[in-house]
Chain A
């Protein structure tokens, strides 16, 4: 039987289309428990490849006959070995090209909405890492918010759309993934904005992203307006796009809220976080559609693959927005926090421009889930 090769893009389509898939993950148990390919209708079997070196007979009864089987490992080598062994046993299986490494890097651009006068808003869903980036396109111009490090994905996409990238924003100094923002700006001549309060240690030039700053994109002058919303970091800033969308960065997610501890100042920033979520955001129109910079679990994806929810619905349903007691809130966001993201201190230093690791090192730093939230 044949072994087929699937790309991360093909697997992303399975996630977004809600397809069935059986994943045989042959990484070791710790790696699987930490982080795997999530899908609404995916089933899993985790058997480390090194337990299959003498043969795959034992797992044959555990594999379904009526579903696609995808073998996954860290980089692809072991999944090819196991897929070949299964193929010799007469099964039709596929392996994931590039393994979890390529899954971590893949971005799926999905249109969120048409904006006023022919403008468009795209969400770039990095399924393997839970990162969300945005591009506003209008009248031949583009603005990008929270770009991940795969800069060519954004520059190519803008080029396809015939748009010139004019403005590149980071809502805050990221700790879970490496920003592509300033590199895109350098390549395209766009202006790169970063909140000044998050930029005390950065070693490159940037334009201060101040509260109330508004830029207009393209001929139809779609507004992208900054709203200071500290708490995840001291500089965290949200954006209101076209008076319809609220880009919340890492402050508010669909099913969780931002954690205040990744710069080491949880206790100091709790009050800011509460003020942002319980006062500042409360003054906004409830019909705004929240577009966060992350998702944590696959259930946060909508039917079309986007991650978006009405602000008013989140006020009603998001637990982190419904803790009446300030002390209880403090405990929620400072006690029992999930583990910190892989290499988060090193990632912050990369985003400050203090160190410039090579591509493999950057990949290694970003392995694993993002863990920017508390639920």
Chain B
């Protein structure tokens, strides 16, 4: 398994309701907001239930990989108090549709697991938390289209890049949550 997660929860061999009980505890106690937890389970019922639980609690269910009898679920901790439509301050923006007709780099600042389950083909993965350390990999001469799920993290990333001398930077809105075009997976 090559998908990066910040916290791994082993719930293998546990029957319902324990996979969800443990997931809830782990997310509340051990996972920071924005981090990704990998839940390993063997209970088939966890498939539907974790998706429904995440939806009801406001956490982001990223995806599922099955290997043999083991189910690997990925969930990103979200704060349901914070609306998706948090205020975006970076003014240089591009729409999802405009991405089709531009040249430059698409920079995906979501967590690695989110990227793995579906990204724009050719997009570069650089999770927001890694941006400061890795921005020297980016070309200042090139246009950079920063994208995340709903435009909030990419807004922050675009601000950070601008503050570090990147001028040709755009925040892509609304982001991957509304992306209708092709996607690639790296699972």
The chain A residues found within 8 Å of chain B, CB to CB, are 28-31, 48-51, 53, 73-75, 77-78, 81, 364
Contact = CB atoms under 8 A, between A and B. Distances in A.
Nearest to A73: B16
Contacts of B56: 48, 50-51
Interface residues of B, number: 14
B48 A81 contact: no
Contacts of A78: 16-17
Given A50-B56, A77-B17, 11 more contacts: A30-B48, A48-B49, A49-B16, A49-B20, A50-B53, A51-B56, A53-B24, A73-B17, A78-B17, A81-B21, A364-B44
A252 B11 CA distance: 47
Contact of A77 (B18, B24, B48, B52): B18
Contacts of A49: 16-17, 20
A-B complex: 7 closest residue pairs judged by Cβ atoms: A78-B17, A28-B52, A50-B53, A77-B16, A50-B20, A77-B15, A78-B16
Main secondary structure of the interface of A (DSSP, over half): helix
12 contacts: A28-B52, A29-B52, A30-B48, A30-B52, A49-B16, A49-B20, A50-B17, A73-B17, A74-B16, A81-B17, A81-B21, A364-B44
Nearest to B49: A28
B104 interface: no
Interface of B: 15-18, 20-21, 24, 44-45, 48-49, 52-53, 56
B20 A53 contact: yes
A188 to B, nearest CB: 34
A75 B45 contact: yes
A31 to B, nearest CB: 7
A77 B16 CA distance: 6
Contacts of B15: 75, 77
A81 B22 CA distance: 14
Given A53-B21, A53-B24, A75 B52 contact: no
A50 B48 contact: no
Nearest to B50: A50
B53 A48 contact: yes
Contacts of B24: 50, 53
Nearest to A74: B45
Nearest to B44: A364
A5 to B, nearest CB: 17
Nearest to A26: B17
A364 B47 CA distance: 13
